[in-house]
């Protein structure tokens, strides 16, 4: 299984040592889980150089996969234009739809609602990891991307 880490949780996730909520994800990565991310959309302005460098090191270790934003630009436009969307994260929703990743680490209430909205993320529905108590969502480590 793969996970998308929202920009609002990257700091906690990449902290050394990892925060209590992010630690189960970091352990899961050591057992075969992967982060899926893209540097397009708002991510490019929300995330600093050091964070991008750390994500690149995860990618080089086989623990993360960078998806170029141009590969799912059409999905992002559709999400941006959607009247069902409540969050300001069309890029995250488009990344999930295009890759098939259905697990998200975020604390953004609007994005949580959007990710669980059947009209926006479906087949299968999205699941949200927001704290360590959600560690059971990390049980499957096979990561098959639709890319």
Chain centre distance of CA 63: 13
pLDDT for position 51: 86
pLDDT for position 141: 52
Report strand pairing: 2-5 vs 127-129: unpaired
Give me the residue spans of the domains in the chain.
2-138
Has domain 2-138 been given CATH number 3.40.50.1010? yes
Q: How far apart are CA 63 and CA 2, in angstroms?
A: 9
pTM: 0.92
DSSP state of 47: S
Low-confidence stretches of the chain (pLDDT < 70) are: 42, 140-147
pLDDT for position 147: 52
Length of the chain: 147
Helix (H, G, I), strand (E, B) or coil at 136: helix
Residues 6+ apart with CB under 8 A from 38: 66, 67, 68, 69, 72, 91, 95
Q: How far apart are CA 84 and CA 71, in angstroms?
A: 23
Q: Which of 91, 68, 75 is nearest to 6 (CA)?
A: 91
pLDDT for position 142: 56
């Amino acid at each position: 299984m793969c996970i998308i880490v929202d920009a609002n949780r990257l700091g906690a996730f990449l902290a050394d040592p990892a925060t209590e909520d992010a630690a189960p994800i970091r352990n899961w990565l050591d057992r075969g889980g992967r982060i899926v991310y893209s540097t397009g959309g708002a991510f490019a302005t929300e995330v600093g150089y050091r964070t991008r460098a750390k994500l690149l090191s995860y990618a080089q270790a086989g623990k993360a996969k960078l998806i170029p934003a141009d590969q799912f630009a059409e999905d992002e436009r559709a999400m941006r234009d959607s009247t069902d969307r409540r969050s300001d994260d069309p890029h995250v929703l488009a990344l999930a739809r295009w890759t098939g990743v259905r697990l998200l680490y975020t604390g953004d209430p609007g994005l949580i609602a959007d990710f669980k909205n059947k009209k926006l993320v479906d087949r299968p529905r999205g699941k949200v990891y927001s704290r360590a108590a959600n560690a059971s969502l990390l049980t499957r480590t096979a990561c098959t991307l639709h890319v």
